A and B are shown apart, each in its own frame.
Chain A
Amino acid sequence: QKEVEQDPGPLSVPEGAIVSLNCTYSNSAFQYFMWYRQYSRKGPELLMYTYSSGNKEDGRFTAQVDKSSKYISLFIRDSQPSDSATYLCAMSLRSNDYKLSFGAGTTVTVRA
């Protein structure tokens, strides 16, 4: 069993739809959770960085962490064609940890 599981998709939605992305994990000690966005042939860019359980909102993006279920989500509201990318979840035991555990990524296409 992989430490972090992420539905690979691909996911195709019409412009304006809500995109829902999820990851599950097996290590209950993870405390820091990240979402990265990666455009084709580019490096990942950090979208959201959260600690422990709860919600965090940044513009059209909302990250949710449910540590009791070992489940994290990223929601994208009012999706745009520019949101078309691969989204990677990542998590770590400590802040500034050298060791990040990544999901395999979900590829999203937003159709105009």
Chain B
Amino acid sequence: DGGITQSPKYLFRKEGQNVTLSCEQNLNHDAMYWYRQDPGQGLRLIYYSQIVNDFQKGDIAEGYSVSREKKESFPLTVTSAQKNPTAFYLCATNGGVDTQYFGPGTRLTVL
């Protein structure tokens, strides 16, 4: 069953904690992306990676970090430096044919 999986579906973070969101794909896509979605706003790009072992900052990278050690995986860490982390986080991939396809999302809430 091909697709993009994100885990966990819901995540709660205490003040000062780092948390890591998982994104895995078995579509053999080279490019992967992380977006943040807030109510009433469009999706905003956090980080993207077009090839293994390489990634670039998006529009709102401050307070976040990523790694791309494997083609299938692109985890996002929300660090304690991110002052307003409560949001819906979306991972996407692009296979080089048309455009981006999204995973099911992770809802992060800060306690």
Contact = CB atoms under 8 A, between A and B. Distances in A.
Interface stretch (B67-75, B78-86, B99-107): B99-107
Contacts of A102: 42-43
A104 B40 contact: yes
A68 interface: no
A97 B96 CA distance: 9
A42 B37 CA distance: 11
Contact of A104 (B31, B41, B99): B41
Given A32-B99, A98-B31, A42 B104 contact: yes
A99 B104 CA distance: 20
Contact of B43 (A2, A46, A88, A95): A88
Contacts of B99: 32, 34, 46, 49, 90, 92, 95-97, 100
Interface of A: 2, 4, 6, 8, 32, 34, 36, 41-46, 49, 88, 90, 92, 95-105
